[in-house]
Amino acid sequence: MTLSDFISEWNNSSDTVLVHTSGSTGAPKPMWVEKRRMEASARITCDFLGLKPGNTALLCLPLDYIAGKMMVVRALTCNLRLISIEPTGHPCLTMPDNIDFAAMTPMQVHNSLQTPEERRKLASIRHLIIGGGAISDNMAAQLRDFDNNIWSTYGMTETLSHIALRRISGSGATDWYTPFSSVQVSLNGDGCLVIDAPNVCANTLVTNDIAEIVDGRFRILGRRDNVICSGGIKIQIEEVERELAKHTDIPLIITKFPDERLGETVVLLTESSDIDELRRICNTALPRYWQPRHYLIVSKLPTTATGKPARAEAQRLCEEMLKDVL
């Protein structure tokens, strides 16, 4: 979708806009969302960040998903000056200096940290929000010393982008998300986050994200459907990936496979042929019961269009490659 296509859709007589979920846990799903709720979400973000009419907003995300659409809606609703560039993995190559507000994926930020010039431009963005995937501990550590305002977002298509932010840069850097003032969060019986955000979502939303809440702020531990139950021990896939990311830059995805004795076992997918090195790292860095039983080399790690691990496809690949094991 082009920018002019979306603006035409935004200005038509319909009260709704068609969006698609990211597809991180399955096939992307279409959703019709109300324009008035998208406007409400835009105002909440701009008010929180203190953005004013005439401030510049960078569009460097594809307009096929809610994150890109919401950047345009924020500009239209709050009278920001939208600067649109081609959505690539290296947005800082073509963006101007001193942008007031931008949204990027972790992959775009990672790429921008690799060269001095791109890093300089990244640091010139007054408010940068990062969403669409997990921010590694290594990336967070690199961004902590930046002087500009860098935020990690929490949200999903159903909440019309984010409903909470956590500071990544500066002395206020934290692992805890602060919900917007119009948002209430709680936990259900399974320990999953429950979101009540009436301005942007008509119904209370029960997520699959296992969370912890302290004094109104929350942090995400992982997804309920990303739990591996192995020998009676519950292993959170994201925790295993986060721990390995502290010890290696080799791209990998953790998934699971049925096991007759243990119920499920940990499986590591990678594009690297250096399995011996990965096994050494896992044996050294991970608790014994987190260590993968199978190491599988794939031609390409499955990811969504927004760069997140495609969990359902990863499990399908695993089951196809190990179908004769049991």
Full pLDDT tens readout for the chain, 326 residues: 899 999 999 999 999 999 887 665 556 788 899 999 999 999 999 999 999 999 999 999 999 889 999 999 999 999 999 999 999 999 999 999 999 999 999 889 999 999 999 999 999 999 999 998 778 788 899 999 999 999 999 999 899 989 999 999 999 999 999 999 999 999 999 999 999 999 999 999 999 999 999 999 999 988 888 999 998 888 999 999 999 999 999 999 999 998 878 889 999 999 999 999 999 999 999 999 999 999 999 999 999 876 789 999 999 999 999 987 65
Rounded to 10°, the helix 3-10/66-78 angle is: 60
d(CA 211, CA 222): 7
* Count of residues in the chain: 326
Rounded to 10°, the helix 35-49/66-78 angle is: 70
Structural domains in the chain plus CATH codes: 3-181 (3.40.50.12780), 231-321 (3.30.300.30)
Sheet with 101-104, strands from edge to edge, namely: 81-84, 56-59, 101-104, 127-130, 149-156, 161-167, 178-179
d(CA 204, CA 162): 15
d(CA 43, CA 66): 16
- Vertex 128: Cα angle to 127 and 132 (nearest 5): 150
pTM of the complete model: 0.79
